[in-house]
Homo-oligomer: A and B are copies of this chain.
Amino acid sequence: MALAKFTTDGILDAAAEEVRNHGSAVRIASIAARVGAPTGSIYHRFGSREELLVHLWLRSVRRFHEVYLAAGRTEDPEKALLGMAESVVTFTRDHPQDAASMALFRQKRLVENTPDSCREAVAHINDEIHERLSELAQLRYGRVTEKRRQLVRIAAADGPYGFVRPYLWDSVPEWLPAVVVASSTAVLALGD
């Protein structure tokens, strides 16, 4: 076997950089140029541009989930949810490339038209998160209703994401975490 000069992770790193700069308009040629490889070498690792981007997305989402779940392991459920909300912002600040890569797709749409080789991974990537959010909804409210389930999702995930989104391509203001926590606190209170 030959020693790989260009690793999968190396290519994904380059792709992430390019995504940070050009969004979903990334070109294979730019990624290749950035790692110093010819485009052919990219296709040796990934079957298509689409497949490459999905792999990048998966890697970034997994990295985020680690931080996000850690923030959600706090005992007190309210604090856990607010910690998760805050971690969306701090992760974006600390890992802008991953944050930009995560914005390439939305899971729901991706499952439907993704290369077969990735479908399973994409389909289940959020399972653990959903489970934890359900638990926390239970702990926070006692009796869980549909509305409360949704409030939890908005407070801990969708809302914070909405607040950071404008800053995915710039840098995150230092006061943003406080804004997110205040907002999410208010949203959770709507369920009481």
Contact = CB atoms under 8 A, between A and B. Distances in A.
Interface residues of A, number: 24
Contacts of A163: 154, 158-159, 162
Contact of A183 (B150, B161, B164, B183): B183
Interface in A131-184: 147, 150-151, 154, 158-159, 161-166, 173, 175, 178-179, 182-183
Contacts of A182: 186-187, 189-190
Interface string A105-128: 010000000000000000000000
A185 interface: yes
Contact of A162 (B151, B162, B178, B190): B162
A38 B172 CA distance: 45
A122 to B, nearest CB: 18
Given A186-B185, A187-B183, A189-B182, A166 B162 contact: yes
A150 B182 CA distance: 15
Contact of A179 (B166, B185, B190): B190
Q: Which 3 interchain pairs have the tightest Cβ spacing?
A: A162-B162, A186-B186, A183-B183
Given A161-B166, A162-B165, A182-B189, 5 more contacts: A150-B173, A154-B163, A165-B165, A179-B187, A183-B186
